[in-house]
Copies of this chain bind each other. A is one copy, B any other.
Amino acid sequence: MLEFRVVAVDPETKARAGELVTPHGVVETPVFMPVGTQATVKTLAPSDLLEIDARIILSNAYHLYLRPGTEIIREAGGLHRFMGWDRAILTDSGGFQVFSLARLNRVTEDGLEFQSHLDGSRHFMSPEHNVAIQRDIGADIIMALDECVAYPAERSYAERSHELTLRWARRALDAWRADPREQSLFGIVQGATYEDLRRESAAALAEMEFPGYAVGGLAVGEPKGAMREMVDASVEALPEERPRYFMGQGFPEDIIASVVQGIDMFDCVMPTRNARKGSVFTSRGKLVVKNASCALDNGPMDPDCSCYACRHFSRGYIRHLFAAEEILGQRLATLHSVTFYVNMMKQMRSAIVEGTFGNWRSEFLSKYEGGGGSGGETDTRSEGR
């Protein structure tokens, strides 16, 4: 069983600091996992991620299965060796991508029939097959295949779907237990925006005793109030002593709110995708660094940041790189935004450990929101390119 220790809990909220012990190092939680969908965190090298001190990244079994193909990764000695990343990796099952990116032909009791978004080739994926794929890829943490429900979903469909996801979770668990290697499988709570279904889903998964649990199917466009209620309902039915992962949750203010609700792990493509489009996160809120207003600005993207990009380059230079369509612009913006997220999580964790989480949160948010940082959207999870 994956070792997970809760080392401190905020006395006023459910926020907690933990340690996740993986075969590729200890991950301190709460943690944000930069997304490396295709075996690379877009624009960054592993050396950058080491410098940022990211401890775990996320990749995606759907994408890797299609390209370069699971055998190539297996023959290269697994994903860690293939991509030159010696720290922890979590792979998503890719269920979400089958629903959002591939052409989904049929959902049967047995699994998913779909066509590749790359070449239209036909594929079938069962929960067992999906575990085998993730076994070949070799991440430290793997996810059970689930059915992903769009928002809004009819009650009857949500019910049928969450029950199917539970049966698949059991099958994935059995397949994983038959040959667990050094991997740990997480189950995913579904149930759309129905509180009772969320509770039912979480309780049923908890009974199966997964090494960890994720909350799935949220941050897909539903109102924030509903999102928070679903997280509460899910978390309450999950065991205290296991890690909890909110899939696809990404805005700083939402991550903080979810930590308050007891979530330990996060991922989202949004910070890296926005960075590639010239928009970065800073301690003063969002900054559209590619805008003309930055052209004469000799200051760094974020005066509070000590990443390589903020130490050496001005907003004006990075703006020029975007205007000239130079790749280095995307790279420096990504480097900064990932640094911002990693450091935000570190500070948050220290505050929880030191018992100053409440203060930290108000100070962080007042600076961040005072600077014009915004959220609004909740649909941040798609990992298409």
**Interface residues, chain A, CB within 8 Å of chain B?**
38-40, 42-47, 67-68, 72, 75-77, 82-84, 295-296, 298, 308, 312-314, 316-317, 319-321, 323-328, 330-332, 385
Contact = CB atoms under 8 A, between A and B. Distances in A.
A327 B327 contact: yes
Contacts of A296: 72, 75
A43 B312 contact: no
Given A38-B321, A83-B317, A327-B330, 8 more contacts: A39-B320, A39-B321, A42-B328, A72-B320, A76-B298, A76-B317, A82-B317, A84-B313
A203 B294 CA distance: 48
Contact of A312 (B76, B84, B325): B84
A385 B331 CA distance: 19
A320 B43 contact: no
A53 to B, nearest CB: 17
Give the most central of A67, A83, A325, A330: most B CB within 10 Å: A83
A324 to B, nearest CB: 4
Contacts of A82: 314, 316-317, 320
The complex is assembled from copies of this chain, and their number is: 2
A68 B316 contact: yes
25 contacts: A38-B326, A39-B320, A39-B324, A40-B326, A40-B328, A43-B328, A43-B331, A45-B328, A45-B331, A67-B320, A68-B295, A68-B323, A75-B296, A75-B298, A76-B298, A76-B314, A77-B298, A82-B316, A82-B320, A84-B312, A84-B313, A84-B317, A325-B385, A327-B327, A327-B330
Nearest to A314: B76
A45 B76 contact: no
A167 to B, nearest CB: 33
Contacts of A321: 38-40
A59 to B, nearest CB: 12
A326 B42 contact: yes
Nearest to A67: B324
A314 B83 CA distance: 9
A297 to B, nearest CB: 10
A161 to B, nearest CB: 31
Contact of A38 (B83, B312, B324, B385): B324
A330 to B, nearest CB: 7
Given A323-B68, A327-B330, A317 B43 contact: no
Contacts of A316: 68, 72, 76, 82
B67 A323 contact: yes
A317 B64 CA distance: 12
Contacts of A46: 312
Contacts of A314: 76, 82
A344 to B, nearest CB: 23
A126 B1 CA distance: 74
Nearest to A69: B295
